Amino acid sequence: MTNNNKQFLPAEWSAQSGVMLTWPHDQGDWGDRLPAVEKSYTEIVRHISHYEKVIVVCRDEALRQHIEGILSSTDANLSRLCFTIAPSNDVWIRDYGPLTVIKDKKPILYKFTFNAWGDKYNSEFDNAIVTKLHEDGIFNHTGIETSKLILEGGSIEVNGEGTLMTTTNCLLSPRRNPQLDCDLIEAMLEEVFGIEHFLWLKHGELHGDDTDGHIDTIARFVDADTILYVSCHNRDDANFEELKKMEAELQAFRKPDGSPYRLIALPSPEPKFDEGRQIPATYANFLIINGAVLVPLYNDSADVQALAIIKSCFPDRDIIGIDCLPLVEQNGSLHCATMQLPAGVI
């Protein structure tokens, strides 16, 4: 078990004070799809607000008023919503939001450098959001540390007891930290997050994923000893071979005591395409919150099965499906669009 006197990164199922997200706007990449995406965001915010607080990052005051008007017409718990103003390039706050560690039973925010997955897109506004919100007092005077290490929240997955799972394609990408090798990156993550055991996946990157293989799209911890992962049985799916190779890697993983992990397979939806390009629709991109799990759905025959499997992993939490097909058309989904904040941050 984790020693609470040691600095560590808590698992997502630990107690939370809230979730933050960045609302999409007409200066981003959504174009005429913005109304459909706003419907998904409305569902995400209103459901989270039934369980905990939500920080909504708005590009400007006009957008804040627009969002407040939308949510006021729903059953969202408005008393749990906090609107804050900050310019943004995109919505994927999982990757530029703060990673919160616990030290001496108190939370500390870590703001890592964000370069839009290897300088693929503009990121100057997104990279500044955490600092601005901290200066504005949004995080309840929680301390903050900054790092030049380029690291995205979606690229790491922890079990809260010293184990971190990630992918070589992403963390060892030369477009992020070319001066660092695997040993140096492990040493840095050990120091910041209290990691004692590393699990590296070399396979599993989904077609259409522009993050170079974020772990939160393919494999997730649901407790300290169990990994829920994406499987594929459709040989015509472009992801079939990679996911089979990933499955073999997961079967070879061992816990610190030498025993294997409990593995539970999630289905893949039928391949989804946008303008002829396969997009990374995945049920692994769920979000755990206090008392519930929000699950991305894709208007697919596998939606019901995915919900049932996730319910079996979280029998004491409500399982809530949210249409995320509009989101994944821009290569992300529910988990990518949110960042949980542990208890004590807000």
| Residue 7 is assigned to a structural domain of this protein | no
| Residue 224 is assigned to a structural domain of this protein | yes
What is the pTM (predicted TM-score) of this model? 0.97
**Amino acid 4: pLDDT:** 46
**Amino acid 5: pLDDT:** 55
| Residue 307 is assigned to a structural domain of this protein | yes
Q: Which residues contact 234 (CB under 8 A, 6 or more apart)?
A: 240, 268, 270, 271
Is residue 233 over pLDDT 90?
Answer: yes
> How does residue 6 score in pLDDT terms, banded at 50, 70 and 90?
confident
Give the helix ranges, DSSP H, for the chain.
Answer: 34-49, 61-72, 93-96, 116-119, 129-135, 168-171, 182-193, 240-252, 303-313, 325-328
Q: Tell me which residue of 204, 110, 215, 205 sits closest to 164, measured CA to CA.
A: 215
pLDDT digits (tens, 9 = 90+) for 223-232: 999 999 999 9
Sole residue written with tokens 């039973």 = 105
**Amino acid 31: pLDDT:** 86
**Amino acid 1: pLDDT:** 42
Is residue 122 over pLDDT 90?
Answer: yes
Total domains in the chain come to 1
Question: Other CB atoms closer than 10 Å to residue 86's CB: what's the count?
Answer: 19
Half-sphere exposure of 121 (CA within 13 A, CB side): 17
Of 287 and 275, which is predicted with more confidence? 287
**Amino acid 161: pLDDT:** 97
| Residue 4 is assigned to a structural domain of this protein | no
Is residue 3 over pLDDT 70?
Answer: no
Mean pLDDT of 138-152: 95
> How does residue 272 score in pLDDT terms, banded at 50, 70 and 90?
very high
| Residue 70 is assigned to a structural domain of this protein | yes
| Residue 9 is assigned to a structural domain of this protein | no
pLDDT digits (tens, 9 = 90+) for 55-81: 999 999 999 999 999 999 999 999 999
pLDDT digits (tens, 9 = 90+) for 10-51: 999 999 999 999 999 998 888 899 999 999 999 999 999 999
In whole numbers, what is the pLDDT of the chain averaged over residues?
96
| Residue 218 is assigned to a structural domain of this protein | yes
Q: Which residues form the domain of 295? A: 16-342
Residue 85, domain CATH: 3.75.10.10
| Residue 3 is assigned to a structural domain of this protein | no
Q: Which residues contact 5 (CB under 8 A, 6 or more apart)?
A: 104, 105
